[in-house]
Amino acid sequence: MFSAINRCKLWSRLFASEITLPKAFAYPALRSTRDNFKCPNCDQALILQPETQPQTYRCNNQHSFDLAREGYLNLLLAQNKRSRNPGDSDEMIRSRQRFLNAGYYQPLADAIIAAVAKAANGTEQSVLDLGCGEGYYLQQLRIASQNVASQKLASKTTASDTKSSNQTLKLLGIDISKFAVRLAAKRKIDARLAVDSVYNIPLFENRIDTAVSVFSPISIEETARVLKPQGKLIMVGPGAEHLSGLTALIYEQSLPHGGNTEGLEKAAQFSLLEQIEIKQTIVVSGSDIIDLLKMTPYYWHSRPEQQEMLTQLDKLETLIHFNINIYQNQNS
């Protein structure tokens, strides 16, 4: 009925509550309320109240959550917070957004896009970014899916091409930092976003085709629970030499990274399918250098004079080194 692109635009306008559709069309991307976020109080599905309160999600037990102006839900209950503003700070997140938007990690984004495309199995793929930060990788996935859809629509399509151009990518993201989720929502990428913890994912079981985790913490049990049987987990962590050009200016001894997949290697819930290594040199310029420092934990280990020296630097040459491990969910 709708083309892939129009459906995409329609969904984002609906999500932003710009338009009201007849009831039968109210939730075009959701087959069941179990595709919605869960209420953190009672685990019932949260359902939008389009007629009475178009910005409010409510469960059957009348717990309600208002959609923030930018279009995300804050599902992190006060009693589940260890601090007032858990997760990465506003300053760290803004530095990361500027640095990532400058394209330095494009090779990683391209590898994630390729891994998500390879994991696709059917006409609809739900992708959950765990610890999505300010949404850079979600946006990269959305742009890639729109490019594929528009290329296919622009070319003279055969019946089978038309079918594959209808492939829909449902994007979801959670992060414990409200600052991060707010910036991700501002990207307007037609993703369902919530502030919550990866240790208590606000989704029903067996809902997600592909989970992505980039430099973020992960719960093996929770990730396996929300993934469909045979669903994929794309786990990105630092290679041993990641940012060695930066750390050489901060630490006296080199500190090789240990990676972040130790628990997964022993987990019965996941089997390793593929490993991809990305290692290349980048040249970071101007104020991007201090943004790079601020988006990493090295910032807290650096002395004020080192920060000042990095602020004065014109160019910084460094390796970027990523390990991507792709796992399959063994839960059935």
Binding site for ligand SAM (CB under 6 A): 87-88, 96, 131-133, 136, 174-177, 180, 197-199, 214-217
Q: What is the smallest separation between the CB atom of 193 and Zn ion, expressed in angstroms?
A: 20
Backbone angles phi, psi at 169, to 5 degrees: -110, 115
CB atoms within 10 A of CB 327: 25
Cα 264 to Cα 327: distance, rounded to the nearest angstrom: 9
Q: What is the smallest separation between the CB atom of 39 and Zn ion, expressed in angstroms?
A: 3
Q: What is the smallest separation between the CB atom of 327 and ligand SAM, expressed in angstroms?
A: 17
Work out what residue 59 binds among ligand SAM, Zn ion, none; the CB cut-off runs from 5 to 8 Å by kind: Zn ion
Q: How many residues belong to the site for Zn ion (CB under 5 A)?
A: 7
Contact 302, 293 (CB under 8 A): yes
Cα 275 to Cα 165: distance, rounded to the nearest angstrom: 29
Work out what residue 41 binds among ligand SAM, Zn ion, none; the CB cut-off runs from 5 to 8 Å by kind: Zn ion
List 41, 89, 254, 285, residue binding Zn ion (CB under 5 A)? 41
Could you say which residues in the range 225-254 bind Zn ion, by CB under 5 A?
A: none
Q: Is residue 59 within the footprint of Zn ion (CB under 5 A)?
A: yes
Q: What is the smallest separation between the CB atom of 193 and ligand SAM, expressed in angstroms?
A: 12
DSSP state of 25: G
Contact 184, 130 (CB under 8 A): no
Closest to ligand SAM by CB, 145 vs 223, is 223
Cα 69 to Cα 86: distance, rounded to the nearest angstrom: 21
Q: What is the smallest separation between the CB atom of 158 and ligand SAM, expressed in angstroms?
A: 38
Q: Is residue 39 within the footprint of Zn ion (CB under 5 A)?
A: yes
CA nearest neighbour of 310 among 135, 101, 99: 99
DSSP state of 260: S
Cα 286 to Cα 4: distance, rounded to the nearest angstrom: 40
Closest to Zn ion by CB, 77 vs 283, is 77
Closest to ligand SAM by CB, 136 vs 299, is 136
List 42, 114, 283, 313, residue binding Zn ion (CB under 5 A)? 42
Stretch that binds Zn ion, among 56-64, 128-136, 193-201, 293-301 (CB under 5 A): 56-64
Work out what residue 180 binds among Zn ion, ligand SAM, none; the CB cut-off runs from 5 to 8 Å by kind: ligand SAM
DSSP state of 39: P
Closest to ligand SAM by CB, 161 vs 221, is 221
- What angle separates helix 136-154 from helix 90-101, to the nearest 10 degrees? 30
Q: How far is CA 301 from CA 240, 269, 278, 296, 315, in A?
A: 19, 36, 26, 10, 21
Closest to ligand SAM by CB, 27 vs 137, is 137
Closest to Zn ion by CB, 58 vs 207, is 58
Contact 179, 97 (CB under 8 A): no
Closest to Zn ion by CB, 43 vs 274, is 43
CB atoms within 10 A of CB 76: 23
Residues that bind Zn ion (CB under 5 A): 39, 41-42, 44, 59, 61, 63
